[in-house]
A = this chain, B = another copy of it.
């Protein structure tokens, strides 16, 4: 794919709380803006009316089934031949698409992608790399929920994958990678963290040691490595705290006197800018890293803007060859293990 060629992105039209309406609208916007050529995967009869309404032409690949949000991963794998996310993943496996985006169940997506696409040689486990908007700069949190229990070697690989992603997609030259622990000093943490820190020390990345929960917002690190349990708790805490604080501010302003209300009106523009900067929509989706295929998990509550941005992230992954870059970084480790 050269710079002028458009990547082809398979989009699971049926995944997420607002599917297919918002997913189709996001896909239309992405294709109209020249971000990518999109293939919509799902129930043709439910997708077409939205395309007609938008006066847009996008290729549809039919898939009769939808994976429910609370499905067991094993069941999702069994039904993959007929489900929208399963068929979308298969478009990547067979080379018809360069990447796949889904706002449906991330557990189902991951399970299907792992079986159908397999991992990059040398990678032990795929991980979710969430990109969190913070006031200063985005931070990559990896693993944000794919693996609840992790071996230290996996954590080391998460550091490599997160660093490669931050370089390729976020344009950071030398991402500062840290491991999440309960104190900045070396030697603080549990056995798993201490062992992983030692491995990260010798990995081909810029490892800066331990980070704390606060470092998601301190600007001290660009990539935070942690297991999928802690990462998922952090992601959901951070995302909802931002929403809760913004709600509390709005309520405090609205329940006040006329002078405060006037003040709120005057400050609205400045707040709006900040709110957009901190909104999950800005980064659109979290990559499943470590697979032989570009997979982007979009937020379950994705609006059309979030879907469009997730497609943009997918297109950037393709253009920047994230998979190739991760493969190159882990290749020496694979050889070291074999030797």
Set B134, B182, B252, B274: member contacting A229, Cβ < 8 A: B182
A54 within 8 A of B: no
Compute how far the CA of A300 lies from the CA of B187 in the bound complex, rounded to whole angstroms. 20
A189 nearest in chain B by CB position: B148
Chain A contact residues (Cβ within 8 angstroms of B): what range? 35 or more
A260 within 8 A of B: yes
Taking CB atoms, residues of chain B closer than 8 Å to A189 are 148, 229
Copies in the complex: 2
Question: Which 10 residue pairs spanning A and B have beta carbons closest together?
Answer: A263-B266, A213-B237, A213-B236, A214-B240, A135-B248, A263-B267, A217-B244, A213-B233, A263-B263, A182-B232
Interface residues of A (CB under 8 A from B): 70, 134-135, 145, 148-149, 180-182, 185, 189-191, 212-214, 216-218, 226, 228-230, 232-245, 247-249, 251-253, 255-256, 259-260, 262-271, 273-274, 278
Can you list 20 A-B contacts (CB < 8 A)? A135-B244, A135-B245, A145-B182, A149-B190, A181-B229, A182-B228, A190-B229, A213-B234, A218-B240, A218-B244, A234-B237, A242-B245, A248-B274, A249-B274, A260-B267, A263-B264, A263-B265, A263-B266, A264-B266, A264-B267
- A149-B191, A213-B234 are known; give 20 further A-B pairs, CB within 8 A: A134-B244, A145-B182, A148-B182, A148-B190, A182-B228, A182-B232, A212-B232, A213-B235, A213-B238, A217-B244, A218-B240, A226-B233, A230-B233, A242-B245, A252-B273, A252-B274, A259-B266, A260-B266, A262-B263, A266-B266
